[in-house]
Amino acid sequence: MIYRSLVDFDAQFRAAPALATWVCADDAHCRFTLGEDGRKFHDGTRLTAEDVAATYNSLRALKDTPLAAEFANIAEVKAVDENTVDFTLKSADSQFPARLIIGILPAGLIARNHDFARHPVGSGALKFVAWKRALTLERVADGQRITLEEVRDPTVRVLKLLRGEADLLQGDLPPELVADLKTRPETRVLESPGTNYSYLGFNMQDPVLRDVNVRRAVTLAIDREAIARQVLVGGSRSATAILPPEHWAGNAALKPAPYEPEIARALLTQAGVKLPLRLVYKTSTDAQRVRLATIMQAQMRPAGIELEIRSLDWGTFYDDVKHGKFQLYGLTWVGIKTPEIYRFAFRGDHAPPVGANRGHLQDAELDALIDRQDWQAVTARVDALLPYVSLWYEGQFAAMRRDVTDYAPAPDGNWDALATIKKRSEQ
């Protein structure tokens, strides 16, 4: 919102022009031409090709960060004239434009080592004003001030909305509260299907879970439909892969696993597992996550699986996940846009700290498919190997007061629509 990038994503998550349009001579040479929109930085200077080059060169100069690694493939960034930038790559990369989603910073401030983390300056629709207890932004187009405040308790958040202390709230409410807000005269609730992927991760080094049939049994022992219907917000749907089917690299042929506790039990027996199978599931102390875990625990029981829930404080939990100290863990991938996630999460050489292959999946065939960027085959192979139990894409919602218009929740829960939001002034 504060920054603008060269490239953005369209509804199918393909790279779409934002600040610039582009032409690639081949997979290693691309020329970006800046358009007229968003060419003014908040400090008044004009955004030029020099700023683009300075931004990407400063990223490449960083050491030991994921961002530097992401752009290590760039051989040269050259500003040809005020509106034209040429990117030259070391090796061919057909998906290169989709990587240029980094906000462009003013070259002058980069040179002066400006503290962008505390005083961001970009060319986006919203301008940074202050960040003390709350974050205050100002819309460049009409000077509308927008304040973002963190309210931890869901009940307090809803009360603030009902009392008019807040105009809008988005995400992270128990569905019962969302349903309640729908019935109130002073509020409106908008829902949309989400794209953030919730899953259970298996530890592939575990002596029992190493067997794919055991993993399949766990997958069949969860009633996603019932959970999505009863205890998730509207717009939630069963998931099949990290990227949803409408994504250009999504796989619409995959079907969500049904709830078949009997088949699951049979699979476990065939695999020679002594029932009940005891599994330890680690999760955070977040109340909704614990609630969902408790439901899954009950659903798995008829399948002969005794799920032991361990809710740990976030630091301990995440540390255990990164170090492979788990049998099963539950997390959500948020805001994933490119199929590169499959390399990051599943390729054999991407175990932490390099990537997020936390369950230590090792599969030569999958690695080859990832390297070939054949995403249909990759998703099918992942679906066969089952390193994750796909759970659901949780729906998104925004609740707002009646006088708020021109706002819609984004599929990944971002706040971009603040660029258009309007509040009818009372007469």
Interface residues with another protein (CB under 8 A) are 153-155, 158-159, 174, 176-177, 179-180, 226-227, 230-231, 284-285, 287, 290-291, 293-295, 297-298, 308-313, 315-316
- Interatomic CA distance for residues 223 and 227, integer angstroms: 7
361 and 204 in contact (C-beta within 8 Å)? yes
- What are 412-415's contacts with CB under 8 Å, separation 24+? 412/194, 412/195, 412/196, 412/334, 412/335, 412/336, 413/170, 413/171, 413/194, 413/196, 413/334, 413/335, 414/335, 415/1, 415/148, 415/170
- Interatomic CA distance for residues 103 and 38, integer angstroms: 12
Task: Give 297 or 376: the residue with its C-beta nearer to another protein.
Answer: 297
Task: Give 24 or 309: the residue with its C-beta nearer to another protein.
Answer: 309
Report the amino acid identity of residue 191: E
> What is the smallest separation between the CB atom of 91 and another protein, expressed in angstroms?
45
254 and 260 in contact (C-beta within 8 Å)? no
87 and 77 in contact (C-beta within 8 Å)? yes
Task: Give 31 or 182: the residue with its C-beta nearer to another protein.
Answer: 182
Distances (CA, A) of 55 to 196, 293, 360, 381: 29, 43, 35, 38
> What is the smallest separation between the CB atom of 190 and another protein, expressed in angstroms?
20
Q: Which residues contact 118 (CB under 8 A, 6 or more apart)?
A: 131
**Apex CA 59: angle with CA 12 and CA 106, to 5°?**
90
86 and 142 in contact (C-beta within 8 Å)? no
> What is the smallest separation between the CB atom of 356 and another protein, expressed in angstroms?
24
Q: Which residues contact 383 (CB under 8 A, 6 or more apart)?
A: 240, 241, 251, 254
End-to-end CA distance of the chain: 30
> What is the smallest separation between the CB atom of 184 and another protein, expressed in angstroms?
10
CA Rg value for the chain: 24
Alpha helices in 283-374 (DSSP H): 287-300, 314-322, 340-346, 364-372
> What is the smallest separation between the CB atom of 401 and another protein, expressed in angstroms?
17
Burial 169-181, CB ≥16 within 10 A → b, else e: bbbebbbeebebb
Tally Cβ neighbours within 10 Å of residue 64: 6
- Interatomic CA distance for residues 134 and 148, integer angstroms: 6
